[in-house]
Structure 1
Amino acid sequence: MLPPRRFLPSFSLLSAFEAAARTGSVTAAANELGLTQSAVSRQISALEKQLGVALFLRERQTIKLTLAGDSYAREVREALRRISNASLNLRANPAGGTLNLAILPFFGTRWLTPRIGRFLDLHPGMVVNLITRLEPFDFRFDTLDAAIHFGAARWPGAALTHLMDEDTVPACSPDFKARHAISTPADILRAPLLHLSTRPDAWELWFNRNGVAFDAVHGMLFDQFTTMVEAARAGLGAALLPRFLIARELEEGQLVQAAEGLAMPTGQYYLAYLPDRVSYPPLVAFRDWIMEEIRSDALALKGAIGQ
């Protein structure tokens, strides 16, 4: 339910206020909006009167946001941005079939983006906008319909559809494996290791899982899987990497499994969305499609292992 009309200023008043707040000048705001200075001043005054709050401090020919005005400007700017994005999406796809999807960088680059064309071929007219995100966000205050989430099944206020489990394997270049004479999990401990900053204890967990005693684990630190994969390919060290995301490198021989050992389950991937979007047609179509892609991958992997 919308608030009473008296709390909903007109778009023209908000636009004049936002422009003046952003530029710090009534003159600059007037030039940007194609209005006169007096027109912008009147609109700002009308907004202050409607709200009952002073938004600017006026000193001679200059203006400065009040504390309340500064806070209000931030929220108005975000609201106008969301309206602008919604309008652009509608113009790009008048049928309304737009899905704004937040993705994890490595998952999006390696797994999803190369496949998304198949989804678009199956659903002509739909548009998928991909936005890279590393951390969960609040759906209530963002212009996103869904997100790919990794980790525990926790996202306050969101519904979660389980996509797949992830397990990691130690991987390195063939030359690196030969150079360090790696054949067992214990041998890896003697070689340079690559670490991901968001999973700082991954190697410790893997060595414990495979019964390898150690005092400390050192090595290079990376903040993205993408750069860590390239470092492993370049022979800089061994890395714990999600098996399904390095399938191409393993198949082409750019990377090899450093040693046979127990694969380590590291978490799950989920599709997250607000419960009231559960029947949104683009989301329904995407959810059905991605689940089928994952099932096909699992069957292909099972077939490869059985050969």
Structure 2
Amino acid sequence: MADFRRLPNLAALRAFEAAARHGNFSRAAEEIHVTHGAISHQVRALEEELGVALFARHGKRISITPEGERFATTLRKALGDIAAAAAALQADSRQNRLTVTSLTSFAARWLSPRLGRFIELYPDMEVMLQSSNQLTDFVRESVDIGIRFGRGNYPGLSAEKLTDDYFYPVVSTRFNHGKLPRTPEQLAKHPLLRCEMEPWTPWFRAAGLDFLEPTGGLVFQDSSMLVRAAVEGNGIALARHSLAFSDIESGELVRLFDVAIRCPQSYYLVCPPESMHKPQVQAFRNWILEEVARLAQPVV
């Protein structure tokens, strides 16, 4: 049995392998995130410990020696085996973990209230829900799958359309002491809530109105906050169907009129292509497709 107590310093071995692969101490230092001097010192210490010159120095240039080349080949295989074993262990440990990222509004108003049903189906699975309006680096952030609202252009990712969405006005039944507008023209008398980048004008035109885009009043950056403000009776909101549907079903909100317009964007399920082979990702995909199918589409 090998005496592992006689192994050279592992940091020095890693430094040497990187230097041998790059043929340059500076590029090895960049890879390992240490200084050029640290790489040089670790390689020199390894040479002294082994009693063999691993590099020939020519001023600032280096070239690997035949002994160094043989050692680097063996070392590279050993480090590769260690890396593969570590990756396998990490994959095993993550089989019961699923990390999902979603737009903040969709996570708050649609996904989060329904995730309990997914947990009931897979009680041993740990689900981490991340809500963000920023683009996600799936590999760096260890995210398995995401839900995005856009036009389906996600380079390098597998993208599957979940559903379209629609805009229409909603209001609390308590708004204006229950005296709600009966015609689109009567909207002019009331405060109109809106989100940035989601104007009223396209809906006005679909309803046959020549109203100008509202100014003043409450403007939200997050669509879930817009719906919340409508529930609290702060005005009439131009809301997305997916975000307002639950409050309409519960009676907190009512939809005004039978005019709806389709959103330019749709919801997409996105992930790195290799992630689609993970059992937990497949389970989530199948579940969410069934949930989306239950979402009744509005009358337009």
TM tier, smaller: 0.5 to 0.7
2:221 is equivalent to residue 209 of structure 1? no
2:257 is equivalent to residue 260 of structure 1? yes
How many residue pairs are counted as aligned between the two chains?
232
The answer for the alignment partner of 2:237 in structure 1 is 239
Paired amino acid for 1:247: F
The answer for the alignment partner of 2:268 in structure 1 is 270
Q: Unpaired runs of 5+ in structure 2?
A: 1-15, 22-28, 44-85
Q: Unpaired runs of 5+ in structure 1?
A: 9-13, 22-42, 52-85
How many angstroms apart in 1 are the aligned matches of 2:142 and 2:42? 28
The two structures, once aligned, show a CA RMSD in angstroms of: 3.6
Paired amino acid for 1:186: E
Q: How does 1:79-228 map to 2 (within 5 A)?
A: 94=93, 96-176=95-175, 182-199=181-198, 201=199, 203-218=200-215, 219-228=217-226
Check 1:175–1:154 CA distance in 2 against 1; reply closer, same or farther (3 A cut): same
Q: Is the 8 A contact 2:203 2:261 kept in 1?
A: yes
Check 1:113–1:179 CA distance in 2 against 1; reply closer, same or farther (3 A cut): closer
Q: What's the CA shift for 1:146?
A: 1.4
TM-score by length of 2: 0.66
Paired amino acid for 1:264: I
How many angstroms apart in 1 are the aligned matches of 2:147 and 2:99? 11
Q: What's the CA shift for 1:234?
A: 2.4
The answer for the alignment partner of 2:38 in structure 1 is 46
TM-score by length of 1: 0.64
How many angstroms apart in 1 are the aligned matches of 2:273 and 2:222? 31
Check 1:98–1:113 CA distance in 2 against 1; reply closer, same or farther (3 A cut): same
Deviations 1:233-291 (A, max 9, x none): 2222110112232233223322112x313211113111101112221111111101111
Secondary structure (helix, strand or coil) at the match of 1:142 reads: coil
Q: What's the CA shift for 1:44?
A: 9.3
How many angstroms apart in 1 are the aligned matches of 2:102 and 2:109? 11
Q: Is the 8 A contact 1:146 1:273 kept in 2?
A: yes
Check 1:98–1:47 CA distance in 2 against 1; reply closer, same or farther (3 A cut): farther
Alignment counterpart, residue 293 of structure 1, candidates 271, 291, 294: 291
